[in-house]
Each structure stands twice: as structure tokens, then as C-alpha cells.
Structure 1
Amino acid sequence: MTITLTAASMEATIRRYYDGCNRADAAMMKSTMAPEATHFFPAGAPQGPFRGTQAIADGWIEAVAKMGSQWTIETLILDPENRRAVLEWTHWKTKAGTYLRGDEWFEFDEQGRITEIRAYYACPPKGVTGEAMLGGFDYAGRGYTMNPPYTEETRPKPET
């Protein structure tokens, strides 16, 4: 069944996906994706691509458990006519006390499900450690999130 995608429906799907990531809720994440969805990462990333909804959900559940991962959406651009979206995010790694900024491109199928996510990271130069972000960009001045949204105690739990 083909549906007419709207910017609102695409945004709702993307926000539900990230809510599922933040909750470590596999069912919520998987409800937003086509079964064959793939999440690509920069070349050399240790996890390689996640292929299939279960692998994607498992990867983010593991990230929450090991790193205290949380994500915030900073900006979002939606293109329903071409079934694509791009957003900037912050990946908070609260157990390490660090974060990573980047963006992801999303592709959607005819049913409005995510089929592909392509991640691009703002990476520091080789040998530089710390937060990964654009040098000289005024994140705070432009209204970007500057602290993780939750503590481990206040993180939302999976829906039952």
C-alpha cells in the first residue's frame, strides 16, 4: 500500500525512531523501519553497517547500555516528494562524559517506513580527543543542546 508522505508524517516517524533509541526500546525503533532497513556509518567505524531492523535496534540498545547513549535532534529538513530527510543530531555518551555531533540522511519507502540511514560525523583531526563537533561553530549561540537531556535515573523506559 502506497501512502502520500507528508513532512509531518516523516517528522513523526523520525522522532519516534529517536525516542525508541533513547528508551532502548526495540519495538518502538522497529515500528518505524522497513524490515530490510540499513544504517550506514563512516568507513572505518568499528560497528560497520547495521543491516535489518533487529541489528539496528540491537546496536542502539547496546550503545545505551555501554555508553549511556542519548540523542537529540538539532535541526531537521524534510523532502516528502523525494521520500528523504536529513537532520543534525548530538549523540551524548554520558558514561564517557563526551558527545559527538553529526547528521544523518534518511530514505523512506512507499509506506512511509525508514529504509536507509546514512550517518556522517563531525570528527576531530587525527590525534585530537574530546568532543566531536565543528571548530569555531557557535553551537550554544545557535540554540543547540549543550547537555544530555536525561540522567540515567530520568531516562524514559521502554514502552510496555
Structure 2
Amino acid sequence: MSPRIRVGHTRAMGALETITRYYDGCTAGDVETMLGTLDPGVVHWFLAPNPGSAPVRGAEHLARYWRKVAGLIEARWVVDHALVGDAEAVIEWTMFWRPPTRDDRDGHGAADRVATRGAEWFTFAPDGRITEIRSYYQQRDETTQLDGFPYTDRGYSTTGAEHSRLHP
């Protein structure tokens, strides 16, 4: 079964494009790209107890937060699946990253990248910008995913193939 996108109409497709552009900006650490997708009053909520689980408020603050995170852990986000409506969307994503080692003198972290799988709920302003992100995942120094789920068969991203059918 391939990833499905359920959309109400053209505005919903715009929401998915906004989400993938947001994640491309996060991956590149590109503040301007992220700002183009975020409402000035955006709030990003995180599931505790993850590192940095306090909410991040404001577009500028959130964009700079992800620029810093992406640089520290060499993160790449991929949208794997989406259910999209007019003013809301729910997605599954994978973050590929390099956890720090105990003896990380060169600043490059562990040799092997890990995959953290999660889901997020987005809300949008009438102009299509993201107003809220509610993030559900557990970040650990090893890959986290559903036991036995056929990620490859369903077109999801996998370690060594950091792209999906939905987000090349």
C-alpha cells in the first residue's frame, strides 16, 4: 500500500506543500525558507520528556531553533504520510540524525545515523501559514519505529534512503 494523501481541495494541497517546504527549510537550516511557511505567532509543542520539550513560540524563534538543531545533529526530516484538510493536517515523518557520542571532539557525532519516527498535527492560518505544530515522538540515540511495520513496502523513508514517495 502506498502513502495516501487525503485532501478536501486545492487549499489542502497547498498545506502539504507548505509542510514539505517547512521541513526542507529545517533540514537546510534555512531561516528564510522556514519563515515563509510560519505564521508570526506560531507555537510548536513537543512531547515530554524529549530534549528541549518546552514549547517554542514565534516564527523567528522557531526557525532559529531548527537551524541550530539541524547543525548540531545533522538532521534531515522527511514527510512519509499525510492526511490533509483545509485548516489542519496530520503527518508521519522521519528525522534522520547523528546522535552525539560521549567523546565527541570533532563535533560530528556517531558514525551511524539513526531514524526517529514521529507524527505531527499542524494548523494553518487563512493565508496558509502554519500556526501550530503538535509533535509526538520519542527521541532516543537509536532508531525508533513501529515494530514490524512495512516501511519500505509502503514507500516510507528508511536509513540509507532518506526520502519517501511523498517527499523526494
Query: In structure 2, what is the Cα distance between the partners aligned to 1:30 and 1:148?
Result: 28
CA RMSD of aligned residues (A): 2.1
Amino acid corresponding to residue 104 of structure 1 in structure 2: E
- Per-residue CA shift, 1:124-156, capped at 9, x if unaligned? 9xxx86211111212122221113539xxxxxx
In the TM superposition, what are the counterparts of 1:9-158 in structure 2 within 5 Å? 9-47=14-52, 48-80=54-86, 83-94=87-98, 95-96=109-110, 97-121=113-137, 123=138, 130-146=142-158, 147=160, 149=162
Query: In structure 2, what is the Cα distance between the partners aligned to 1:43 and 1:102?
Result: 13
TM-score by length of 1: 0.80
Q: Which runs of 4+ in 1 moved over 3 A?
A: none
Q: Is the 8 A contact 2:90 2:120 kept in 1?
A: yes
- Per-residue CA shift, 1:57-107, capped at 9, x if unaligned? 122111111100000110111111xx0001110000034421200111000
Query: In structure 1, what is the Cα distance between the partners aligned to 2:141 and 2:79?
Result: 23
Q: Is the 8 A contact 1:75 1:88 kept in 2?
A: yes
Amino acid corresponding to residue 35 of structure 1 in structure 2: P
Unaligned residue ranges in structure 2 (runs of 5+): 1-8, 99-108, 164-168
**Percentage of pairs with the same residue:** 36
Amino acid corresponding to residue 144 of structure 2 in structure 1: A
Unaligned residue ranges in structure 1 (runs of 5+): 151-160
Please give the secondary structure, in 1, of the residue aligned with 2:89: strand
Query: In structure 1, what is the Cα distance between the partners aligned to 2:153 and 2:161?
Result: 17
Query: 1:5 Cα deviation (Å)?
Result: 6.8
Q: Is the 8 A contact 2:114 2:141 kept in 1?
A: no
Please give the secondary structure, in 2, of the residue aligned with 1:6: helix
